[in-house]
Amino acid sequence: MTRLEALFSADKVIRDQYVALTKRIGQENAVLKTLEEKLADAQGAADRRKVLQAEREDAYRRVFEAIINEQTALAELYNPLLSRLAASSGTLRKLGFYVRRVVDVSQWGAFAEKNLLDQRKAGPLNGRGSLTAHAEIMLKPAWEKGTAAEIQKAMTDWIHAIDNETPLDLVIANAGIGLGQNDAPTLAEITERTFDINVQGVFNTIHPALDRMIPRRRGQIAIMSSVAGFVGMPGAAPYAASKAAVRSYGEGLRGAYYRHNVEINVICPGFVVSRMTDRNRFRMPFLMDTDKAAQKIVHGLERNKPRIAFPWQMYGSIRLLQMMPVWLADRLLRRSPRK
């Protein structure tokens, strides 16, 4: 600036104008950089959505392939008995049985209508029994007789059809099971079944929802994790690992899609009174009533909290474990109960 004054005898007004222009250029450069980031993000969004959709559809197909394979295995198991009955004479020849998939759509629909849907809202799912009626037509045939690919397509088509009539405002991915040591013969099977539901089930829910929310730049997705997902639990390693996976995934998606105005929250409850905890035969510290837990979730979603963790005593204890030396936390965790 000193050299400019010497060469051009710049007075105070010109100096002020020069400073203002320099400041304005800096501001415009910052805005331009932000716009370039948004443009790059928008250019990659379509490709990311395609990748996520492909992964979701593949995961959904694998889950139902496992169910169909189980059905086939049972049929093959009973084939020798069927052959013997067919070759018998008299009354035995009249006996017979078969293996088929049975879906209790009424129970599925009743649970969803009671716990997940606001039936006061206008739309295709308004009124008691409407969800069940839709599922009977669009999902049950594929669930009971379709191939894995047909089931996968039916579920995707159904979600999109409902969203076309009444756009999704809030999706809660609550798929989850907690298997004990006696629920399957091997650790490998327990782990596979747990991840199929707790991880792939969450993917199957949130990916088609994201496909619709991102283009219209509106929506909220809540992913059900657990305080068990913050540390490796020796008594429930597959469960804790599955909850750690969806927690990390949800927190990553929140940052990835905030520019698209899609709110993503991760719910990390401790022990809550439910059918899952009813099976536990060990002391559950800070066990919370279902209604109180629901209130905390609703409050956290309304405030768009990144992480909704409760009760505070359990969450605080887990966070304290994370800050301890590894050797000390390891000794304490060895004492944790087993499912």
Q: Could you read off the pLDDT of 278-301 as tens digits, one per residue?
A: 677 667 777 888 888 889 999 999
Residue 73 lies in a domain: no
Residue 79 lies in a domain: no
CA distance 201 to 260: 24
pLDDT at 257 over 90: yes
Residue 97 lies in a domain: no
Span of 37-46, 87-96, 180-189, 239-248 with lowest mean pLDDT: 37-46
Residue 1 lies in a domain: no
Q: DSSP letters of 22-42?
A: HHHHHHHHHHHHHHHHHHHHH
CA distance 241 to 296: 24
pLDDT of residue 199: 92
CA distance 113 to 134: 12
pLDDT at 20 over 80: no
CA distance 216 to 221: 14
Q: Which domain holds residue 235?
A: 167-339
pLDDT at 336 over 90: no
Residue 26 lies in a domain: no
- Read off the pLDDT of each residue in 81-105 and give the average, rounded to a whole number: 71
Structural contact between residues 270 and 288, judged by C-beta atoms closer than 8 angstroms: yes
- 82, containing H or E segment: helix 12-87
pLDDT at 245 over 80: yes
pLDDT range class, residue 95, cuts 50, 70, 90: low
Strand partners, 263: 220
Residue 171 lies in a domain: yes
pLDDT of residue 205: 87
Q: Catalytic site residues?
A: 239
Cα dihedral 184, 281, 338, 236, rounded to 10, equals 70
pLDDT at 50 over 90: no
- Residue 338 maps to which CATH number? 3.40.50.720
3-state secondary structure 257-279: HHHHCEEEEEEEECCECCHHHHC
pLDDT range class, residue 59, cuts 50, 70, 90: low
pLDDT of residue 224: 94
Span of 19-28, 290-299, 310-319, 328-337 with lowest mean pLDDT: 19-28
Q: Could you read off the pLDDT of 149-189 as tens digits, one per residue?
A: 788 788 778 878 877 877 888 999 987 887 877 778 889 99
Model pTM? 0.57
Residue 64 lies in a domain: no
Q: Give the number of domains in the chain.
A: 1
Reduced to 3 states, what is the DSSP secondary structure of residue 207? helix
Q: Which residues contact 121 (CB under 8 A, 6 or more apart)?
A: 166
Residue 310 lies in a domain: yes
Q: Which residues contact 301 (CB under 8 A, 6 or more apart)?
A: 170, 220, 222, 265, 308
